[in-house]
Chains A and B, each alone.
Chain A
Amino acid sequence: MNSDVRPVGGKLLTPGFMVLLALSAVGGLLILWRFFAGLGATTALSDGYPLGLWIALDVVTGTALACGGYALALVVYIFNRGKYHPLIRPAILTSALGYTMAGLSVAIDLGRPWLMWKIPLYFWSWNLNSALLEVALCIMTYVVVLWIELAPAFLARFKDSGPPLLQRFARRTIPILDRALIWIIALGMLLPTMHQSSLGTMMLLAGPRLHPLWNTPLLPLLFLLTCLAMGYAIVVFESVFSSAAFRREPETPMLAILQKVAVAVGIAFVSLRFVDLAVRGRLGLTTQLDFHGVIFWIETVLWLLPAVILLTSRRVNLGNLFLGAMCTALAGGLYRLDTFLVAFQPGTGWHYFPSIQEMFISIGLIAMELALYVAIVRKFPILGGRSLKETTA
């Protein structure tokens, strides 16, 4: 099935790639400085806003944007749409990189990261009431699961070429992996269902201090829906990007359907949110156009815009697919960022705007993620389909 999955090849050190490396280097240096100087000296975090950009953006939003692998796995393995299989490897790669970077962000953000190992190992101390514990354990496991799911792509490269020891290892491991993989894939569908909803549960504990437009017992369900919508959107986004960047034939019809699914989930999210507000008598808050009211409507419009694009465009093209996917990703990203930062109201006198260091560490991590994606796609069999050169030649 993956017969036409091949390394993209080509020159690695393009000017764009060099920019990514430079940004990664800046981020890396700032990370070292953060460990040397401490959190107080390098961040704008405070006792009022103890969770900042690294958690709200890199972890809460970043992992949802890394849900492409999860969302697509549901289509391929549960809804039995095998034809989407060519899209799954790049999606899993994006997920693996996104979750790994989120894990790294957590390590940077923790005040006492040298005790991090106790989280998975001190099981007798586990507080099973803690939504964050569930999130932490799930994400740790899921990172491992994602790289195992991706292992065949790396092993295939070394099966025939590479050091003899690695060749033998690859040949022996591939058949074992092949048989076990479906149960690992099932785990890869269970874990995001758990931790993506638990990220919403987390903010229930900030409940009284969360703006009433965001504070609802449905937070876990709303978070699960957003990660699915964002997952489908990011597959579309990433596919369009890859086809343009690596000059490959785009999978337009399939992407059009995935974008429709993303739109449907988005509409479900918005409907659920309004019904919930109505049931709990908070609908009036949406008419108050103060700061939070405006933010709420920006989210809502971004969710609905892709539906408008879908309905008004005469025929599907990569341009409007890209635009729609971007709106969905932004809508979900903004909703998650708002739930953790903007809607969080610790009381008068507290302010938060990320410091330059926080921002450049986040940018550096994203640059690392993109650089690794490009490098891996060029060197390993991840992308399917034909390059435009081959089809025209």
Chain B
Amino acid sequence: MHTDRRSLFKGLAAAATLTLIPTTDAEARAKRTVPDDAVGLLYDTTRCIGCKACVVACKEANEKPADVDGYGGGLYDAPEGLNEYTKNVIQLYRDDGANEVSYVKKQCMHCVDPACVGACMLGALQKGKFGIVSYDPSLCVGCRYCEAACPFNVPKFEWSKKAPKIVKCELCRTRLAEGKQPACSEVCPRGAVIYGRYDSLLADARARLAAEPGKYVPHIYGERELGGTQVLYLSHVPFEKLGFRFNDEQSVPHTQQTVQHGVYKGFIAPIALYGILGAVAFRNRRKQDE
């Protein structure tokens, strides 16, 4: 019985290392910064008149069909939100009690540290040139983990199709390659959404806040939220009323990757654990056979 007890303790030690691994050795992950070549959008609720020209232009540029299912169905392309036909949408916020009305434009935020990119198994979603979060269907198996991960509910799935893809704004990267600007900003008659280099958009937003402080909520949404986004927002109503749920400054992948890298750094822990498990099991079986 003596050897039995000793091997029990050895087993316990192995089990202890096995359970402790996930919580130790987790070193903080460096904060991601805006890429040098970053471009983006700046949207200003005070300038938007809700004409939805950007929605139409986006559909034309991306060859997406009209969504006639919205608002009880009908003849008009009236998407209620982002969906498999709609990469860009204008929504209305209205509170008669508070006498508040505002439009808000929704599309991919092009996060500095995107959760969808962290989720994607084969890198079908990538943060590529200009910091644009792009999608390559040839590497997508349709697992939809990106949808579960995105804090802005942006990636959509073609539920109606037999060979479905993920649908999301890629900031018209094919148009950018042709020297054009994104379709939405190009057609906006009021300059409510403008396209540009990230740095100049941020400077522009700050200048507008400084010039007319009473006009806006004194905040640029996207400058810091969830690690920062390359699409920036100015608003005259509180941002949470426009559907922006989170104002945490830490990016979504930060915690997950800190934990994951802690466990799997250099794949040392799994290999060591395999060695321990194998050696203990090998010795134990030899003893049992004797």
Residues of A within 8 A of B (CB): 1, 37-41, 45-48, 50-51, 74, 77-80, 82, 109-113, 115-116, 118-119, 122, 125-134, 136, 182-183, 185-187, 189-190, 193-194, 197-198, 201-202, 204-209, 217-218, 220-221, 224-225, 344, 346-347
Contact = CB atoms under 8 A, between A and B. Distances in A.
Interface in B59-106: 82-84
A110 B122 CA distance: 14
Contact of A205 (B7, B15, B118): B118
Given A77-B281, A122-B139, A47 B22 contact: no
A115 B253 CA distance: 26
A131 B260 contact: yes
A79 B11 contact: yes
A113 B142 contact: yes
Contacts of A347: 153, 243, 245
B121 A127 contact: yes
Given A50-B147, A78-B14, A78-B281, A112 B259 contact: no
B254 to A, nearest CB: 9
A372 B163 CA distance: 32
Interface string B37-58: 0000000000000000000000
Interface in B106-132: 115, 117-123
B160 interface: yes
Chain B interface extent, by class: 35 or more
A116 B243 CA distance: 35
Interface stretch (B183-191, B216-224, B270-278): B270-278
A206 to B, nearest CB: 5
A55 B123 CA distance: 21
B252 A122 contact: no
A206 B141 contact: no
A128 B117 CA distance: 11
B119 A132 contact: yes
Contact of A110 (B12, B15, B142, B287): B142
- Mostly helix, strand, loop or mixed at chain A's interface? helix
Interface of B: 4, 7-8, 11-12, 14-15, 18-19, 22-23, 82-84, 115, 117-123, 137-145, 147-149, 151, 153, 155-165, 226, 243, 245-246, 248, 252-253, 255-260, 263-264, 270, 273-274, 277-278, 280-282, 284-285, 287-288
Given A39-B164, A80-B11, A347-B245, A111 B122 contact: no
A189 to B, nearest CB: 5
B159 A80 contact: no
Contacts of A204: 255-256, 259
Contacts of A209: 151
Contacts of A109: 143
Contact of B284 (A47, A78, A133, A207): A78
Contacts of B246: 208
Given A118-B139, A186-B278, A190-B277, A207 B157 contact: no
B154 to A, nearest CB: 9
Given A78-B280, A115-B140, A185-B281, A220 B259 contact: yes
A190 B245 contact: no
A116 B121 CA distance: 11
B5 to A, nearest CB: 9
B157 A50 contact: yes
A129 B118 contact: yes
B121 A78 contact: no
- Mostly helix, strand, loop or mixed at chain B's interface? helix
Given A40-B159, A47-B156, A110-B142, A127 B285 contact: no
A221 B148 contact: no
Contacts of A185: 281
B141 to A, nearest CB: 5
B118 A208 contact: no
Given A38-B164, A39-B159, A224-B19, A51 B144 contact: yes
Contact of B22 (A51, A182, A197, A205): A197
B122 to A, nearest CB: 4
B145 A134 contact: no
A119 B288 CA distance: 40
A244 to B, nearest CB: 30
Given A125-B123, A183-B278, A202-B145, A111 B157 contact: yes
A119 B141 CA distance: 8
12 contacts: A47-B153, A50-B145, A80-B4, A110-B142, A111-B144, A112-B140, A115-B142, A132-B119, A193-B18, A204-B259, A207-B252, A224-B19
Contacts of B158: 111
B262 to A, nearest CB: 10
Given A38-B160, A39-B157, A189-B281, 17 more contacts: A41-B160, A79-B11, A79-B15, A80-B4, A112-B140, A122-B139, A127-B121, A129-B118, A129-B253, A132-B121, A193-B18, A197-B22, A198-B260, A205-B252, A221-B22, A221-B23, A224-B22
Given A48-B153, A79-B8, A132 B143 contact: yes
Closest A-B pairs by Cβ, 6 of them: A111-B142, A40-B159, A186-B278, A50-B144, A112-B142, A204-B256
Nearest to A38: B162
Contacts of A132: 119, 121, 143, 145
A37 B159 CA distance: 10
